[in-house]
């Protein structure tokens, strides 16, 4: 298949890092053997170089894919992640696998799976304060002076409980292997339509992670925040919170689109990335 007949592709990477600029130069010829590169963006805060791309290839780690998802906003496109970082749950393809994977993608022998995203909105006295899409999670973190803070959890308008903790994470299934996992939350299959509420170091041991439907409206409120109590979405600090600011987290209409190729089975990825022991065997 010639380049002018192949899938129109944008390459995204963090151009502030020289090693990523080098990676773009090194891997672009390989990509162009199979796909039509119609744009390159080295700035995740900039607009995409074209609006008619059919595929986005992100070079980097999972953090780069999160930034790419925010960059695309409500106009998500299929994303193929090439792992140049560490764990790489989302960016699971290794650079040396491109020559095997890209012909399959060019021939349409791949799957595009949609993943849940969330909409996080904070209001103060009923007026909009912060707003962001999220792919991994929205978190309220206690912040300086680094004492526990009380965080109220509401589901569909009803008060569920008040956590005394270092913070509270509301995670998507994609984000269940990120901050939520490190705080003791469960791992959810990425295709489950659910959210996980995970307290960070709760004072009461009976406060455990809770899984609920993604169709619920989750709200958080901090009656007495610290000076540094903050709202964080996908690792980005949106801003500090004042008493009775209200944070609403709901399912977004935007859906993250991930390109999956052969060899990216879900449990195999968990086994490889989390270093699970034991012998892993595939059926033949």
Kindly state whether residue 11 falls inside one of the protein's structural domains. Answer: yes
Residue 132 sits in the same domain as residue 249: yes
Distance separating alpha carbons of residues 133 and 119, to the nearest angstrom: 5
Supply the residues annotated as catalytic.
62
Kindly state whether residue 31 falls inside one of the protein's structural domains. Answer: yes
Residue 129 sits in the same domain as residue 249: yes
Structural domain including 180 reads 117-254
Distance separating alpha carbons of residues 137 and 188, to the nearest angstrom: 13
Kindly state whether residue 279 falls inside one of the protein's structural domains. Answer: no
Residue 122 sits in the same domain as residue 250: yes
pLDDT digits (tens, 9 = 90+) for 99-118: 999 999 999 989 999 999 99
Distance separating alpha carbons of residues 12 and 71, to the nearest angstrom: 10
Radius of gyration of the chain (CA): 20
pLDDT digits (tens, 9 = 90+) for 113-146: 999 999 999 999 999 999 999 999 999 999 999 9
Q: Using 50, 70 and 90 to split pLDDT, how confident is the model at 51? A: confident
Question: pTM for the full model?
Answer: 0.91
Kindly state whether residue 270 falls inside one of the protein's structural domains. Answer: yes
Kindly state whether residue 137 falls inside one of the protein's structural domains. Answer: yes
**Residue of 261 and 208 predicted with greater confidence:** 208
Query: The CATH number of the domain where 232 resides is what?
Result: 2.60.200.30
> How many domains in the chain?
2
Residue 132 sits in the same domain as residue 95: no
Residue 161 sits in the same domain as residue 250: yes
Distance separating alpha carbons of residues 92 and 94, to the nearest angstrom: 6
Instruction: Answer yes or no: are the C-beta atoms of 141 and 166 closer than 8 Å.
Output: yes
Query: The CATH number of the domain where 95 resides is what?
Result: 3.40.50.10330
């Amino acid at each position: 298949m010639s380049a002018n007949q192949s899938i129109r592709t944008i390459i995204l990477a963090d151009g502030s890092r020289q090693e990523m600029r080098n990676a773009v130069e090194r891997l672009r010829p390989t990509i162009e053997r199979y796909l039509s590169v119609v744009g390159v963006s080295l700035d995740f805060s900039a607009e995409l170089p074209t609006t008619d791309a059919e595929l986005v290839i992100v070079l980097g780690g999972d953090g780069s894919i999160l930034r790419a998802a925010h960059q695309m906003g409500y106009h998500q496109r299929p994303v193929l992640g090439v792992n140049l970082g560490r764990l790489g749950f989302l960016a699971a393809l290794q650079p040396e696998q491109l020559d095997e994977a890209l012909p399959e993608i060019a021939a349409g022998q791949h799957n595009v799976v949609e993943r849940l995203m969330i909409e996080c909105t904070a209001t103060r006295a009923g007026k909009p304060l912060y707003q962001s899409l999220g792919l991994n999670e929205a978190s309220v973190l206690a912040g300086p002076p680094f004492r526990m803070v009380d965080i109220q959890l509401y589901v569909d308008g009803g008060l569920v409980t008040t956590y005394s903790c270092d913070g509270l994470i509301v995670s998507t299934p994609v984000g269940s292997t990120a901050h939520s996992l490190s705080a003791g939350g469960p791992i959810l299959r990425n295709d489950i339509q659910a959210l996980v509420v995970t307290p960070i170091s709760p004072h009461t041991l009976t406060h455990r992670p809770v899984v609920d439907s993604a169709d619920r409206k989750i709200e958080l409120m901090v009656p007495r925040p610290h000076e540094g109590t903050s709202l964080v979405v996908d690792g980005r600090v949106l801003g500090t919170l004042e008493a009775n600011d209200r944070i609403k987290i709901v399912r977004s209409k935007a859906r993250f689109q991930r390109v999956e190729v052969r060899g990216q089975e879900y449990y195999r990825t968990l086994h490889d990335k989390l270093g699970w022991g034991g012998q892993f065997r595939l059926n033949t």
